[in-house]
Structure 1
Amino acid sequence: MQKEIRGPQKLGPLTPLVGEWEGDEGVDLSYHNKDDQTSETTYFEKAWFKPIPLQENGRQELWGLNYGMTAWRHGEEAMDPFHDELGFLLWDKAHGEIMRTVVFGRGIAILAGSSAKPHDKTLTFNATPGAPHYGVLQNKYLLERAEIRDFKSAFEINDDGTVSYTSDLLLKLAATGEEMHHTDRNTLHRVRRYHPGTEHN
């Protein structure tokens, strides 16, 4: 069982994510252009979530984390990763909202969000291309070849102290002329906590 966290929790529902994590149960379902097929790839992943200073937009106050997630296909752990992302997870207590701002090395940027309560165990982040607030941008080539039509992701805070996530990109593929769901899922185990007075980069 995970040790219960008490107190005001400035990070709200993001509080349990703080630290460094690893997961060896990743499954990626995607279309592979070179092989012209859709198939699953299993992967190993490292992730970190670090608190950031208070962000103020006028009267809006956001507490949150910056984070990174990097994944290697099984059997390729000593090679270049096949996925890398950087972003922020933000908590707006006054308005009961969580946000995920993320950029992918492939030339994609997403601002996703949803409503949330301080002690929620399921955190969802949704975005739709063209939306004025929670939306999606991608580079010109990807827009022509694999247009993103919807984005949904969720983090599940598990009772055993692990964190599971799912991600679903609805794509319109030029190669097939059809839509498909590019999905990822994994369960992460914390391997390091952050404490005052300890050295960490």
Structure 2
Amino acid sequence: MINFPDDIFSEPADVDPDTLANLGPLTRLAGVWEGRKGVDLNPKADGPEQRDYLERIEMQPIDPQANGPQLFYGLHYHVHIVASDEDTTFHDQVGYWLWEPATGLIMQTLAIPRGQVALASGRASPDGSGLLVRADRGGPGYGICSTDFLEWAFRTDSYELDLRFNADGGWSYVSTTMLQVRGRDEPFRHVDKNTLTKVAEPRPNPSARIAAGKATLAQAHGFTTIGGGAGKGD
């Protein structure tokens, strides 16, 4: 059982505003990434179907986040995928990667525009070679929530993401979701995998830019004033 503090309201003092300097094992994910050798194995009426896909992932640092005494540093991400043989979107996903320095906890939140969200938790590999997070349907703290139709027709019982850092600075992943497809006796192992290469560096989070004197509060958060007096910062 996790031992939480009795004081659930007081937030940490002297929080470092520079998220990029405090991401721990998530540091190597910050930036913009592309992968051109993705493979998806998904269920169809006539049996499993394999599709190749192209992927772009943007991961940008967010300001430090606190739940009372609990402190997270993290990345906001957007995944956009197109199948190699189509021009339309194959998969779109947004969420956060979060790191709790005090405990070593790693979390990934995800939401897809087909009516499904999840909160997965895990840890970094002891040798720093990668990350592993998992969510299970019905879990008390980390789980999966889907529309009524998906629960009825393509129930997701578990989600696991195994992410490995590569020697060239890139990273690879294998995503496995176990689906109970209506009318099928055995669960279906839905797998996605790809290797990503960095195409752009991350930008500092708003609080870091303000602390460094590189932006005003309005500029750092992308606001503009009437008349253009406080445009977006560099």
**Greater Rg over alpha carbons, structure:** 2
Unaligned runs of 5+ in 1: 1-7
Shift of 1:117: 6.7
What are the within-5 Å matches in structure 2 for residues 1-201 of structure 1?
Answer: 9-33=21-45, 36-76=46-86, 79-116=87-124, 120-195=128-203
Kindly indicate which of the two structures has a greater share of residues assigned to helix.
Answer: 2
Q: Secondary structure at the match of 1:88?
A: strand
**Total equivalences in the alignment:** 189
After superposition, the Cα gap between the structure-2 partners of 1:141 and 1:195, relative to the gap in structure 1 and judged at 3 Å, is closer
Identity %: 35
- With the length of structure 1 as denominator, give the TM-score of the two structures: 0.88
Kindly indicate which of the two structures has a greater share of residues assigned to strand.
Answer: 1
- Matched AA of 1:12: G
Task: Tell me the alpha carbon deviations over residues 114-168 of structure 1, each in whole angstroms, 9 at most, x when there is no partner.
Answer: 1337972211110111111111111100000011111111221111111101110
Distance in 1 between residues matched to 2:55 and 2:187, nearest whole Å: 27
C-alpha contact (below 8 Å) 2:61/2:203 kept by paired residues: no
Distance in 2 between residues matched to 1:149 and 1:104, nearest whole Å: 16
- With the length of structure 2 as denominator, give the TM-score of the two structures: 0.76
Distance in 1 between residues matched to 2:44 and 2:113, nearest whole Å: 17
Task: Tell me the alpha carbon deviations over residues 56-100 of structure 1, each in whole angstroms, 9 at most, x when there is no partner.
Answer: 001000000000111111122xx2211000000000010111000
Q: Secondary structure at the match of 1:142?
A: helix
Unaligned runs of 5+ in 2: 1-19, 205-213, 215-231
